[in-house]
Amino acid sequence: MIKKTLLLLLLFFSLSFAFGEEVSSDSVQAQSEQEESLSETQAEPEQVPDSEQTLDPEQTPTAEPAPDSEVAQTSKPTPDTETEPPEEQTPQPKKDKLPLSIAGCDRAEVESFRQHYLTPRGEKQLTDALENAITYRLYVRKSLLEQGLPPELEYLPVVESNYKTHAKSKSGAVGVWQFMENSVKPFLVLNDYVDERYDPWKSTNAALKKLTDNYNYFKDWPIAIAAYNCGTGAMIRALAKSPEKDFWYMVDHNYLPAQTASYVPKLLAIADLAINHEYYELNIPLHEKEYDVLYNEKNALFDYVTVKKAYSINQLAQEMRIAPETLKELNPSFVRGYTHPTLESTIRLPLGTEQTARNALKKLKPMEFPVKYKVVAGDSLWAISRRYGTSVKAICELNGINENDILKIGKILYIPSK
C-alpha cells in the first residue's frame, strides 16, 4: 500500500516536471519571437510624409547628384531623337538715325510736329500723302538729285498740299506746290485754257527753280524755304529788322509770321520721319526699285505729242482706245479739257503710245469756236445751244463744265462752230 502510494507520487512529480519544462520552453520561444519582432520594428521606423516631417531650420535637405554615368544615361538623347536646342532670339539693334542736311532737327518746334506724326492719326496722314503721289514724289527726288538740292525738299509738297494735284487754298494757291497767280511768272503758263499749276511735273520744275533762286539770293536754306512760304519781299523786310540773319533766331524773337515760323520745322519733322522711318518704326517705304526705274529712264517715262490747235483730250483718248481718265490725269493743266486753240500745246502720253496718238489726231477735227458768250440772267445751257445751233455736250466739253452745272452771270462761254 505504502509502495503504491510512493509510486503514484513519483509518477505525478515526473509528469509535472516534464509538462512544466515544455511550457517553459514554449514561453521562452514566444518571448524570443516577440523580442525579434520588436527588434525588427525598431530597425525599420515608420515612414512619415514629407509634409509632416519637422526639420532643423539649419539642415536644409539637398538632392544628391546622381553618378555621372547615370546622368549621362538619362539625359543623353538617342541619335534618332537628338535635336539641337532652339537658339535664343536676340533683339535686333535699332537702326542708326541719319542726320539731315538742314540744321535744326533737334529743335522743340520740330519735335512738336514729329510727335503729331507719330500718333496713329498723324502716321496715317503722312503715309497716305506720300504713297498716294508716289510718281510725283519720285520725280521730285530725281530732280533734286540732278540739281544738287537738299533731299528734304522732297517732302515740302506734304507741307504745301499733302501732294494733292488739285489742292486749292482759301487764298487761291493751286496745285502740289501751291503757286499763287501773282507768283506764276516766269515759271508757269496761266491763261484761259491752260493752268500749269495743276501739272505736278511742270510745277515741280517751277518750284525747284524758285527755291534755287531764293537760295542764291539769301545763301541759307532755312531762310530760302521760309521765303517760299511768305514771299521774297516779306523775307527781305524781316531780315532788315532782325539783328541776326538766321532763321532760328528770327523764330525765337518773333520776326516772322506764325505760319512761316512753323513752315520749316514742319518740313524738317516730316523729312526726318520719312528718311529715318526704320529708326522710328514707321511703314513709309522709300521705293528704291521704283526710283531706280524712274532715274534710269529719266523723262522717257512718258511720250509726248505737240499740237497747235484745240483738240479734246476726251476725244483723243477715245480714238486712242485708252481710258479718258488716264489721259486727263497726265494732262491736268488743260483746265477746259482741250488744248489751247492758237498756241502750241504739248500733250503728255503713256509710254509707247506716241504713234497711236499721231494716228488718232489725223482722224480728229480740231475745235473752232469763234464766238464768246457772256452768261446773263435766265440763261441755260440748253437755250444757249439752241441759239447757236450746237449741242449742250459740245458746249460743256469745250468749256470744261458739266451739264448740270449752275451758270454764273457774267461767265464767258466759248461756243463751238457748227
- For residue 406, tell me if it sits in a domain: yes
- The CATH number covering residue 398 comes to 3.10.350.10
Same domain, residue pair 237 and 323: no
Please provide residue 205's backbone torsions phi and psi, each rounded to the nearest 5 degrees: -60, -40
- For residue 143, tell me if it sits in a domain: yes
Contact by Cβ (8 Å): 199, 183: no
- For residue 35, tell me if it sits in a domain: no
Same domain, residue pair 281 and 214: yes
pLDDT at 9: 54
Contact by Cβ (8 Å): 374, 410: yes
pLDDT at 79: 47
pLDDT at 334: 96
Q: Which of 339, 363, 387 is the last residue of a domain?
A: 363
- For residue 10, tell me if it sits in a domain: no
List alpha helices for 76-220, DSSP H: 108-117, 120-131, 134-147, 156-161, 200-218
Range of the domain at 388: 371-415
Each residue's pLDDT, cut to its tens digit, for the chain (418 residues) gives 555 555 555 555 555 544 444 444 444 444 444 444 434 444 443 333 333 333 333 333 334 444 444 434 444 444 454 556 556 666 666 778 999 999 999 999 999 999 999 999 999 999 999 998 888 999 999 999 999 999 999 999 999 999 999 999 999 999 999 999 999 989 999 988 899 999 999 999 999 999 999 999 999 999 999 999 999 999 999 999 999 999 999 999 999 999 999 999 999 999 999 999 999 999 998 888 888 877 555 555 799 999 999 999 999 999 999 999 999 999 999 998 999 987 899 999 999 999 999 999 999 999 876 688 999 999 999 999 999 888 898 888 778 788 888 899 999 898 876 6
pLDDT at 100: 97
Same domain, residue pair 118 and 199: yes
Residue among 364, 363, 370 nearest 415 (CA): 370
Same domain, residue pair 255 and 112: yes
pLDDT at 6: 55
- For residue 44, tell me if it sits in a domain: no
Angle between helices 232-241 and 200-218 (to 10 degrees): 20
| 335 secondary structure, DSSP code | T
- For residue 77, tell me if it sits in a domain: no
19, 73, 79, 83, 208 from 69: Cα distances, Å = 65, 6, 18, 21, 80
- What would the grid cell of residue 140 be? 521730285
pLDDT at 4: 55
Same domain, residue pair 279 and 329: no
Q: Which of 363, 386, 402 is the last residue of a domain?
A: 363
Same domain, residue pair 205 and 344: no
The whole-angstrom separation of Cα 164 and Cα 87 is: 49
Burial of 120 by CB count in 10 Å (0-12 exposed, 13-18 middle, 19+ buried)?
Answer: exposed
Same domain, residue pair 274 and 166: yes
Same domain, residue pair 278 and 348: no
pLDDT at 235: 98
Work out how many domains the chain is built from and give that number. 3
Same domain, residue pair 282 and 347: no
The whole-angstrom separation of Cα 274 and Cα 339 is: 38
Coil vs helix vs strand at 216? helix
Residue 273: Cβ within 10 Å count: 23
Same domain, residue pair 242 and 345: no
- For residue 349, tell me if it sits in a domain: yes
Q: Which of 223, 252, 286 is the last residue of a domain?
A: 286
Same domain, residue pair 238 and 326: no
Contact by Cβ (8 Å): 163, 129: yes
Same domain, residue pair 355 and 381: no
The whole-angstrom separation of Cα 175 and Cα 232 is: 20
- The CATH number covering residue 174 comes to 1.10.530.10
